[in-house]
Structure 1
Amino acid sequence: MENYVNRYYITEVDRYPDTIYCHHAVMGEKFIPEHSHRKGQFLYTEGGVVYLNTPEQSYFLPARHYIWIPAGVLHSIHPSTPEVIMRNLYFPVSDSDDVFYARTAIYPVNDLLMELMMFTNRWNGNIRPEDESRYSIAKAFKMLLPELGRDALPLALPYPDDPRLVKIVDYLDKHIADNLGFKHLADRFGISERSLARLFQKELNMSFIQYFTILRMLKGLKLLLDDKLSINEVATKVGYSSLPTFSNTFTKIIGVRPSEYVKHRGLWYS
């Protein structure tokens, strides 16, 4: 595996339209600027948390998960540390592609996918169709994704455009531990509860409760993984007085129990 990301590999991804491009490397830098590919991208990371931004949303990619980025989607990559390892596979677009490949989303990685992905660790660069063995394995990897990734996880938050909501979500981010009610929020920003509810649905396509819950869980995940806090400490810092309630909500949103992250984070981040 390469010791760092040579960002020129990004231009190599689309050099040959019919190849599958494979790239495993330590990032070695704080971010990869906004770019896009003519191929669909499978991205798995280890060694730290990664934020991936598109013009519409900010995605939070934790350990044991991958993100699928459709062809043509502008995105930038921001790791929590330059030591993050990226494992990328880039696939040509096909007319017969499942609708799965048209959506940017995050999915958990199961043992089968992990084994196949680690098998590709010996490859780097273009895998050509005439290299039947490697190409068939890589193509099978892509074809498995819709079958294994039926349930995308909501590990993303959209950006609001309305100036009122920009201020409100910034306030929520800074008061993540507070027991904020909807009425309190409406009164503080001088807007009726009905108008505020409509604003959340129109701008973010989710309710206040949905947004604040996901925000809390993403903050909690960061505290678990980056700050190495205990589950009890994390629950308190994101506003939960009941540990079971926090744990159950975390599991529903993130797809893995917080105890599993605490148990395995040394393995995922060593």
Structure 2
Amino acid sequence: MSKYYLTEVDKEPHTVYCRHDLMGERVLKAHQHAKGQFLYTEGGIVHIKTDEKTYFLPARHYIWIPPNTMHTIRTTSVEATMRNLYFEVQDTDSDFFRHTGIYPVNDLLFEMLLYTHRWTGDISPQNNAAGYAFTTAIKAILPEMSSYSLPLSLPYPTDARLENIVDYMSKNLHEQVTFSHLAKQFGFSERSLARLFHKDVDMSFVQFFTLQRMLKALEYLLEEKKNVNEVAFLVGYNSVPTFSNTFQKVIGLRPSEYIKLRGVQD
């Protein structure tokens, strides 16, 4: 895959840049664009890391990345298809375009996105009036169509001590990791570790660990297509109803509903 995202996107500042392509590599190194990026992927689990958070992009969702946001893209498969639209963002545009967010793709938006597959590169009123009108219409409807941003992101720890703790947590999601055990293992009092979580990631241990587990659960459901019982166990829940209730609170749907809605099962 040519590194068009580093060289081509911003050559013409007032165009819409369109690109549909296989990922071709598992990691797209840290980069940024003067244009905002609409990214929809198919065929792999995708993580987008900014300076502040790591976002998880599941199937049938898109991420909006504001202009000049440094980000790295990682995927589980080089065969993942990236569907990208890059838009100029002006001062008069909605505040929606100034914040990173992950949003569901409804049938209308999905069909409109598929229609753009016929175009590659810069689209302007001069070289493709119809294409420019169509793609800018997509941009225009995004704020109204995307009223609910899924909380599929984790703050990135800046404190090296917390970074080590969070890494340990991510590798032991299947275990019954308790806060007291974690504090003792890493040489903290419970009070000082609680303060570190709130100061560095603006979350409690329970909030952070729950999000870690739910993001991993989505990965198991989407990429490995495991059933709900298996997933509950793999992310540390002995009770499937408790896992299902927690999943619903975070994602907005029960795991079984999510599988049906997203077409995860063959």
Asked whether the 8 Å contact 1:19–1:92 carries over to 2, the reply is yes
Q: Classify the secondary structure of the residue corresponding to 1:265.
A: coil
1:211 match = 208
C-alpha distance in structure 1 between counterparts of 2:89 and 2:244, whole Å: 39
1:235 match = 232
TM-score, reference length from structure 2 = 0.92
AA in 1 matched with 2:51: P
2:248 match = 251
Q: Classify the secondary structure of the residue corresponding to 2:74.
A: strand
Moved more, 47-56 or 6-15: 6-15
Q: 1:253 to 1:163 in 2, by over 3 A?
A: same
**Which structure 2 segments of 5+ residues have no match?**
none
1:265 match = 264
Of the three residues 216, 221, 224, the one matched with 2:218 is 221
1:61 match = 57
**Which structure 1 segments of 5+ residues have no match?**
none
- Give the alignment's Cα RMSD to 1 decimal: 1.8
Asked whether the 8 Å contact 1:108–1:255 carries over to 2, the reply is no
2:124 match = 128
Matches within 5 A, 1:1-270: 5-8=1-4, 10-130=6-126, 131-263=128-260, 264-265=263-264
AA in 1 matched with 2:179: F
Asked whether the 8 Å contact 2:36–2:88 carries over to 1, the reply is yes
AA in 2 matched with 1:155: L
Shift of 1:40: 0.2
C-alpha distance in structure 1 between counterparts of 2:113 and 2:248, whole Å: 25
Shift of 1:233: 0.5
C-alpha distance in structure 1 between counterparts of 2:145 and 2:226, whole Å: 31
AA in 2 matched with 1:230: N
Q: 1:43 to 1:255 in 2, by over 3 A?
A: farther
Shift of 1:44: 0.3
Q: 1:211 to 1:58 in 2, by over 3 A?
A: same
AA in 2 matched with 1:42: F
Asked whether the 8 Å contact 2:225–2:265 carries over to 1, the reply is no
Asked whether the 8 Å contact 1:41–1:88 carries over to 2, the reply is yes
C-alpha distance in structure 1 between counterparts of 2:130 and 2:244, whole Å: 44
C-alpha distance in structure 2 between counterparts of 1:260 and 1:94, whole Å: 39
AA in 1 matched with 2:64: W
TM-score, reference length from structure 1 = 0.91
C-alpha distance in structure 1 between counterparts of 2:227 and 2:8, whole Å: 43
AA in 1 matched with 2:164: K
Shift of 1:9: 5.1
Shift of 1:261: 4.7
C-alpha distance in structure 2 between counterparts of 1:95 and 1:228, whole Å: 43
Q: 1:114 to 1:223 in 2, by over 3 A?
A: same
Moved more, 17-26 or 186-195: 186-195
AA in 1 matched with 2:239: S
